[in-house]
Structure 1
């Protein structure tokens, strides 16, 4: 009996140092923020907007504009202003019965006015909270951030899901908050940010406010200076050696559409800086592989000369897009392509002595040699239009 009693006492003593659930947080006490927006008011104050799912509305198989069977939204937006990010967030928290939790936030939207004023403060307030993830996508919009979050897309339950899926789509450069922070700190580089806008659906029985990718916003330091859209957005991605899959419609020498559509499958770009008599020169080599999508010219692509003609037109298209991006970087004194980083890596001493203090002004004095080589790797299942020469008489 004494031995059993001793074992019992020993076991009880072992249980004493074990920690209990003293700091538990019930899921019913938490509001999961799936997306947030930052705007700048006219009086200079900061507006914070959060998107929070409504657990009671999450049921139902289908529905419009929010994903419930009755068509009601399964989330809600709330907003507040303050002199700082944290002050606005604290004021918003004061009227919420649940504690906001940012660990599941995957998208952060900033309005154009915030981008113009500077985004460096975002990289102070966000990383200080362990719940915020630097892997989240940071997206810009030309209007207000809350207007983008007010979109009513039909395909997804939350607008935040649409923003996230578009941000990592195969035709967009995948860049998160960490990538932009690195670009702000790396020598000889300026950040670029994906930007999206709300857009009305067309020819739909029930109108909806969808979200579309417009291109990239170009920054000088932490401030917005310009935008890259359409062909310039493609040229920027190619210069950054981002092998996105993008569709191209070729033009002839007069600038008229040719009716030839291609999808650029793979891009390999090399940028090599050279110092010749203390004059900086960049040799840019681009190798592209493309797939034919359509040909309204009814060219016989079994003939090598026709294939070579399309490849030459694609070479000109890619080169023109790249040159436009370079000219915009020179015009805005913004090194979006990170040419300065290539110089710093190749010539660290010369960079420190000659270029670092005045960069990116050195972009305007440098020479650029762009060489593009394209290859049409696929024409589809046919060489020419199946009706050509086979019409019934």
Structure 2
């Protein structure tokens, strides 16, 4: 009797476990690779999605079950306006023959208007989606996010992939990083700015490409300003993101030296006077010589010291530029407050935390830069002029 019952249960399990009861065919999914968010007006947000077209991506003779066309593009972009992100997503889904699938989303782009008004609510709703990944890159664009999703980079088939590769090669922040920075006391987020630029080909025709060369400085979740070239470098030095980048500085007679940054570290130190902090940021930089335009003989200690002084001075000026601008608006991009909250937790809670943004405008911060250039080029091997 027991044996018969056991066999009966076994057969029931076999039938119950066979097959995929909740299977979803891949042909029934629309893989979203990028999402853009734009604020149209108060309580009106536009959500845009970028979806690859399998038939177009497969090349000639492909029959990937892809529906619709994107003109000559291997993807299409759809958008709609809702009172919030969830409503807009529902409206998009209502006119799609496939189920939107966000697990392979590469990037999230916030339009400038939405970023300036604050995007945390939108980001929270994104995180609540079961398929969303915290490793998705987050960027801001100067203008509308939908324009970035509709761009046509030439080296990648999908704008999302081009943005992802450019972001990986430079300064990048994912969803987890942004949420962490927003939640930390005494630390404000910094996000890369993605833009479209026009370049010329051999025929003089304009071509559209994607560029990430500037940074958006935020206070909590609101974009406050976009950096210029000097401020961008200064922020990257502070955030220890200059490694593997080229760096150029003038030397003499309009000549310049180009180096490749190997290492860049910032070590903060602070002192207290009458319970008021002041900081010294010690910046250590190591670099390889890449180009010595003026053939300055760097094996000569005097010339080497001259080059180092020029490099250190320029780095210091760049860091001071971003600190002066950001701190004057009560923004802490380095995380000086976060550093104090761990080192002086009692003073932080009792005296500094509540008015930290105001204290920043009066905070004394000194910059010390120590640079070294290795593997100097032997100018004797160059062709003599």
Cross-structure match for 2:241: 242
Distance 1:144 1:314, change over 3 A: same
- Cα deviations by residue, 1:123-177 (Å, 9 ceiling, x for unpaired): 32011111111110011100110111111111011010010001110xx223211
2:43, 2:84 within 8 Å by CA — same for their partners in 1?
no
State how far apart, in whole Å, the 2-side matches of 1:192 and 1:335 are.
Answer: 10
Q: Which runs of 4+ in 1 moved over 6 A?
A: 4-8
Segments of 5+ residues of structure 1 without an aligned counterpart are: 62-70
Cross-structure match for 1:198: 196
Cross-structure match for 1:95: 95
Report deviation, 1:190: 1.1
Within 5 A, what are the aligned runs for 1:300-311? 300-311=297-308
2:379 to 376, 380, 383: 383
1:249, 1:257 within 8 Å by CA — same for their partners in 2?
no
Comparing 365-374 with 204-213, greater Cα deviation is found at 204-213
Cross-structure match for 2:64: none
- SS of 1:163's partner is helix
Within 5 A, what are the aligned runs for 1:1-393? 11-18=10-17, 20-42=19-41, 44-60=43-59, 72-169=72-169, 172-205=170-203, 207-251=206-250, 257-380=254-377, 382-383=378-379, 386-388=382-384
2:172, 2:191 within 8 Å by CA — same for their partners in 1?
no
State how far apart, in whole Å, the 1-side matches of 2:80 and 2:12 are.
Answer: 52
1:173, 1:244 within 8 Å by CA — same for their partners in 2?
no
Report deviation, 1:328: 1.1
Segments of 5+ residues of structure 2 without an aligned counterpart are: 61-70
- SS of 1:208's partner is strand
State how far apart, in whole Å, the 1-side matches of 2:251 and 2:303 are.
Answer: 14
2:299, 2:376 within 8 Å by CA — same for their partners in 1?
no
RMSD: 2.4
Report deviation, 1:12: 2.4
State how far apart, in whole Å, the 2-side matches of 1:361 and 1:204 are.
Answer: 53
Distance 1:109 1:54, change over 3 A: same
- Give the total of aligned pairs: 375
State how far apart, in whole Å, the 2-side matches of 1:13 and 1:186 are.
Answer: 53
Distance 1:11 1:153, change over 3 A: same
Comparing 15-24 with 216-225, greater Cα deviation is found at 15-24
Report deviation, 1:339: 1.0
Comparing 117-126 with 202-211, greater Cα deviation is found at 202-211
State how far apart, in whole Å, the 2-side matches of 1:18 and 1:344 are.
Answer: 54
Distance 1:343 1:257, change over 3 A: farther
Distance 1:8 1:340, change over 3 A: closer
TM-score (norm 2): 0.91
Distance 1:246 1:384, change over 3 A: farther
TM-score (norm 1): 0.89
Cross-structure match for 2:63: none
- SS of 2:200's partner is coil
Distance 1:371 1:5, change over 3 A: closer
Report deviation, 1:219: 0.8
2:189, 2:219 within 8 Å by CA — same for their partners in 1?
yes
2:116, 2:222 within 8 Å by CA — same for their partners in 1?
yes
